[in-house]
Structure 1
Amino acid sequence: MSFYVQRGQIPPKRHTQFQRPDGALYTEEVLGEEGFHGIGSIAYHIHPPTLVEAVGEPEDVTVEYAEEAFLAHRHFLGPKVEPGGDWLTGRVPIMGNNDIVMSMCVPTDGMPEDTFYKNATHDELIYVHDGEGTLHTVLGDVEFRQGDYVHVPRTLIHRWSFTGDVQPRLLVMESPTEFRPPKRYRNDMGQLLEHSPYCERDFRPPGDPPAIDQEGRFTVKIKKHGKLFPFVYRYHPFDVVGWDGYMYPTAFSIHDFEPITGRIHQPPPVHQTFEARGFVVCSFVPRLFDYHPDSIPAPYNHSNIDSDEVLYYAEGDFMSRKGIGRGSFTLHPGGIPHGPHPGTTEASIGARETHELAVMVDTFAPLKLTKQALAIESPDYVLSWQPEKHGHPLPDAAPIPPGATISGDGAAGALPDSPPLDAARG
């Protein structure tokens, strides 16, 4: 999200003298994307951010793909991803291409307080499925909680810390381009329009910069060329006393996405939350169903002609799917149709709302799978549309009474049995 923010102490004009209390000058640093053409911010350091003491041996973190050419619907059991490592070393890549890499991370360890991270080439968007804590950055802290999208622009030095007793679970998306609201939500000046499903008030930028004046040995792991390069700096990297601009970390809660509904079923673009080069990110949230008297709330069958569709199931019961659990992925590649499982279309008739939460990523280039993904794959998902696998042929599926909701197996359920989503809001 890009709107102007100012924090801490800054001089009246950029690129002018700005004196420290001892008479020396603060060091100005321009942080930007796309050279000097894209968004950027200007930060003022107590010490030069270039004072390197040593550079260690790089660590190879290249994503290795195991299956690149396939045409089948896939289901991956996210809860089978082994916990371990910290919020960086614990990342397990699942799928990706040149535009995006999606990983799961279930960290069990904390990163040392003198160690930090910078992705030099990719923006990162992290969906906090479970857990809460603080994103510490060179520009200031951002508090996060369950259900937040946390956006960290490339080049920003940062580290994560978790609080509470809940085991963190993160969906990490990395892109060589910026995550931003769709163009149709913005005017020519970038302001979010009235028909947008969220506004600037929903995005939480960092607080005041920490301005830590500390000498020592501080390691920043810089990711580039598929490697982590350990740079050791003389001064604490969070020595910024002030900054302003349009590039900074933010948090946005999926619960603040206001769903767009209609008389008949709305297509997936109404759920779009972010866009980047080569893909979009969508949010499925609790919402009222269609209100045409003959509407069918379940989605229609469709072929992904131009995209691969990934759904990460977060909370609740997803009305068009059976046998999909919390924290799992489905992948529906372009070229073959997919749609609701047998019985779910008929079962959706008369339902008035849904309590699902899911993150969807649609890519415009084919996705590739890692060996880690293949290790957690559920077999025979591509055959799951066979009606006999669901215990009845399609004509026997009975509609449910008006005013009811849908459970995961397509049965009617009373509203009090809906998942306690308010608890997920933190």
Structure 2
Amino acid sequence: MTFYRQVGSVPPKRHTQHRNTEGKLYYEELMGEEGFSGDSSLLYHRGLPPAIVDSSVWALPDQTLHPNHPLRHRHLKLHELFPEGKPAETDMVDGRRLILGNADVRISYVAALRESPLYRNAIGDELVYIESGGGVVETVFGTLRAHRGHQVLLPRATTHRWLPDGPEPLRAYIIEGTRHITPPKRYLSKYGQLLEHAPYCERDLHGPDEPFEATGTDVEVLVKHRPAGEIVGTRMIYASHPFDVVGWDGCLYPFVFDIADFEPITGRVHQPPPAHQAFEGSNFVICNFVPRKVDYHPLSIPVPYYHSNVDSDEIMFYCGGNYEARKGSGIGQGSVSVHPGGYAHGPQPGAYERSIGLEFFDELAVMVDTFHPLRLGTAALACEDTGYAWTWSGRGPSEWI
């Protein structure tokens, strides 16, 4: 995070006694990044934060990944994994389907109606985009409301759970880093303030406003971690409820960012993807493509020019409007395009010419660019539109020359 907040009851000075009205001490916990040299917050608990009574194996959902081989562009239709009109008897944790991943980032999709178990990702931050539906995220820092268009940033090791609360499933696109997800460094002052050229500011980032306390004993928390490179799960049983925080302060906490508050950067000619960047992680970036005025040079071509991802795989999740460059490809709401490094991609046939003279794009998409190749989850292979790779040529594999 980039700015300090204080919520609930904290003592006037850190690392000093903090007691309740009966004189009992609260227990201070430092939650910090990069050892003791990164952002942190101090949380004040009623019970001992490390007190567990049991620890056992939690079998994670399928984590298998397959190489993108033979190399080709791919179109994934995520709604086929959780069809419309069918009950989504899943939750936001155990119901996730792994779509893509590498050693730096993993992307999953879920449609959930049930409340999730308590969960903590001890590998890295999660950025969760809400495609549709809504609900509440209960966290050790307090609660957050999340609905369509929200990007929910959950720092590494934040204990939380999801409670969908509408008649429709909460559909979410989940980006998991192996470290931290932050605003791009070029948007920040040397002290961490978002600068004037950034497409959003601190007013757009909404953290918890008050503590959320729960009681109970022998409380189960599912923990995802990486003891020796392999991703595994552990089921921890806490002696008392982890949501026993009476107050906290610092610069590390979960927050909600509404994609509608992202201010697009436009120009006379087509702006490259970094103009749309919202966040960055270790060896990947996240961009928001939102409705916007497009290029206004008299000879401009508003859709992207054809480009080769020399160093990157480009993953686009289409979550609203009508993406001009993909018209005619079969891509629609809930689609993901996978454009791997190694050869060019760009507008579909006819889109280049059709875009001339347009003044506005009504499109909404979240993009992840990685700097190491991505592999395909089993779920991706289960929802692939296998004809997408040939749509630029109008031919299929049997017609190759």
Which TM-score band (shorter chain)?
A: over 0.9
Query: How do 1:53-92 and structure 2 match up within 5 A?
Result: 53-61=53-61, 63-82=63-82, 83-92=88-97
State the Cα deviation string for residues 314-365 of structure 1 (Å, max 9, x = none). 0111000122010011011111011111111110111110110000000000
State the Cα deviation string for residues 235-255 of structure 1 (Å, max 9, x = none). 111110110011100000111
Structure 2 contact 45–244 (Cα < 8 Å) conserved: yes
The SS at the match of 2:385 is coil
The number of residue pairs the alignment matches comes to 385
Question: 2: distance between equivalents of 1:382 and 1:76?
Answer: 11
2:212 equivalent to 1:210 = yes
The aligned residue for residue 179 of structure 2 is 177
Of 89, 101, 107, the residue aligned with 2:112 is 107
Question: 1: distance between equivalents of 2:240 and 2:213?
Answer: 11
1:234 shift after superposition:
2.2
Question: 2: distance between equivalents of 1:178 and 1:216?
Answer: 31
State the Cα deviation string for residues 194-245 of structure 1 (Å, max 9, x = none). 1111110000011211233x34221111111322211111211111011001
Question: 2: distance between equivalents of 1:297 and 1:369?
Answer: 31
The SS at the match of 1:150 is strand
Amino acid at match of 1:360: M
1:33 shift after superposition:
1.6
Structure 1 contact 95–367 (Cα < 8 Å) conserved: yes
Query: For residues 388 and 64 of structure 1, do their structure 2 counterparts lie closer, same or farther at Cα, with a shift above 3 Å needed?
Result: closer
Of 356, 377, 381, the residue aligned with 1:374 is 381
Query: How do 1:286-305 and structure 2 match up within 5 A?
Result: 286-305=291-310
Query: How do 1:81-160 and structure 2 match up within 5 A?
Result: 81-82=81-82, 83-111=88-116, 115-160=117-162
Query: For residues 318 and 53 of structure 1, do their structure 2 counterparts lie closer, same or farther at Cα, with a shift above 3 Å needed?
Result: same
Structure 2 contact 206–256 (Cα < 8 Å) conserved: yes
1:388 shift after superposition:
7.6
Question: 1: distance between equivalents of 2:216 and 2:337?
Answer: 48
The aligned residue for residue 35 of structure 1 is 35
The SS at the match of 2:176 is strand
Amino acid at match of 2:23: G
Query: For residues 215 and 168 of structure 1, do their structure 2 counterparts lie closer, same or farther at Cα, with a shift above 3 Å needed?
Result: closer
Root mean square deviation, CA, Å = 1.5
Amino acid at match of 1:144: A
Question: 2: distance between equivalents of 1:97 and 1:25?
Answer: 44
Where in structure 1 do 4 or more consecutive aligned residues deviate above 6 Å?
none
1:272 shift after superposition:
0.3
Question: 1: distance between equivalents of 2:5 and 2:172?
Answer: 27
Of 307, 314, 318, the residue aligned with 1:313 is 318
Question: 2: distance between equivalents of 1:211 and 1:373?
Answer: 39
Identity of aligned residues (%): 46
Question: 2: distance between equivalents of 1:299 and 1:179?
Answer: 27
The SS at the match of 2:191 is coil
The aligned residue for residue 196 of structure 2 is 194
Question: 2: distance between equivalents of 1:81 and 1:244?
Answer: 40
TM-score, normalised with respect to structure 1 = 0.88
State which drifts further: 52-61 or 141-150. 52-61
Query: For residues 138 and 300 of structure 1, do their structure 2 counterparts lie closer, same or farther at Cα, with a shift above 3 Å needed?
Result: same
Structure 2 contact 61–97 (Cα < 8 Å) conserved: no
1:57 shift after superposition:
3.4
Structure 1 contact 124–154 (Cα < 8 Å) conserved: yes
The aligned residue for residue 224 of structure 1 is 225
- Unaligned runs of 5+ residues in structure 2 are 83-87, 397-401
Amino acid at match of 1:383: W
1:62 shift after superposition:
6.2
The SS at the match of 1:382 is helix
TM-score, normalised with respect to structure 2 = 0.93
Query: For residues 388 and 174 of structure 1, do their structure 2 counterparts lie closer, same or farther at Cα, with a shift above 3 Å needed?
Result: closer
Question: 1: distance between equivalents of 2:340 and 2:108?
Answer: 18
State the Cα deviation string for residues 19-74 of structure 1 (Å, max 9, x = none). 12222211000111221121111000011112212223332446211225442111
The aligned residue for residue 10 of structure 1 is 10
- Unaligned runs of 5+ residues in structure 1 are 390-426
Of 344, 349, 357, the residue aligned with 1:337 is 344
Question: 2: distance between equivalents of 1:186 and 1:178?
Answer: 16
Of 259, 268, 290, the residue aligned with 1:254 is 259
The aligned residue for residue 85 of structure 2 is none
The aligned residue for residue 284 of structure 1 is 289
